Chain A
Amino acid sequence: MTQIRLTTPLTDEDVEKLRIGQRVSLNGTIYTGRDAAHKRLVELIAEGKELPFDPKGQVIYYVGPTPAKPGAVIGSAGPTTSYRMDPYAPKLYELGLKASIGKGRRSEGVINALKQNKSVYFAAVGGAAALISRSIKSCKVIAYPDLGAEAIHELVVEDFPVIVVNDTLGGDLYDEGIKIYAAK
Chain B
Amino acid sequence: MKTVNTTAITEAVARMSQEANYYLGQDVLEGFQKALDEEISVTGKEILQQLIENAKIAREELVPMCQDTGYAVIFVELGQDVRIEGGDFYEAIHEGVRRGYTEGYLRKSIVSHPLERKNTGDNTPAVIHTKIVPGETLRIIIAPKGGGSENMSQIKMLKPADGIEGVRKFVIDTVRSAGPNPCPPIVVGVGIGGTFEKCAQLAKEALLRELGEKSKYPDIAKLEEELLEEINKLGIGPQGLGGKTTALAVNIEIYAAHIASLPVAVNLNCHAARHKETVF
Interface presence of B193 (CB below 8 A): no
Decide if B237 touches A181 in the complex (CB within 8 Å).
yes
Which chain B residue shows the least CB distance to A128? B54
Q: Which of B37-45, B155-163, B259-267 contacts A (4 or more CB under 8 A)?
A: B37-45
Q: Is the CB of A66 within 8 A of B67?
A: yes
Interface residues of A in 72-131 (CB under 8 A from B): 72, 75-78, 80-81, 83, 103-105, 123, 125-131
The contact string, 1 if C-beta is below 8 Å from chain A, for chain B 185-208, is 000000000000000000000000
Do A173 and B51 have beta carbons less than 8 Å apart?
no
Q: Tell me which residues across on chain A come within 8 A of B51, comparing CB atoms.
A: 125, 127-128
Inter-chain contacts of A77 with B (CB < 8 A):
67
Q: Which residues from 152 to 184 on chain A have a C-beta closer than 8 Å to any C-beta of chain B?
A: 163, 165, 173-174, 176-183
Residues of B near A183 (CB, < 8 A) are 233, 235
Q: A1-B46, A78-B66, A181-B41 are in contact. Are A126 and B239 (CB under 8 A)?
A: yes
Assess the A103–B239 pair: CB atoms within 8 A: yes
Which of B3-11, B92-100, B210-218, B241-249 binds A?
A: B241-249
Contacts A128-B50, A174-B241 known; A80 to B68 CB distance under 8 Å?
yes
Q: Which of A65, A83, A127, A177 contacts B240 (CB 8 A)?
A: A177
Task: Please give me the residue from chain A that is nearest to B241 by CB atom.
Answer: A177
Query: Which residues does B use to contact A, with CB under 8 Å?
Result: 40-43, 46-47, 50-51, 53-54, 57-58, 61, 63-69, 105-109, 117, 119, 121, 147-148, 151, 179-181, 183, 233-237, 239-244, 270-272
Point out residues on A near B: beta carbons under 8 Å: 1, 21, 36, 63-69, 72, 75-78, 80-81, 83, 103-105, 123, 125-131, 133-134, 148-149, 163, 165, 173-174, 176-183
Sample of 6 more A-B contacts, CB < 8 Å, known A128-B51, A163-B241: A66-B64, A104-B148, A123-B180, A131-B54, A177-B243, A181-B242
Question: 15 A–B contact pairs at CB < 8 A?
Answer: A64-B109, A105-B180, A105-B240, A125-B47, A125-B50, A127-B54, A127-B66, A128-B54, A129-B54, A130-B54, A163-B43, A177-B41, A177-B242, A177-B243, A181-B243
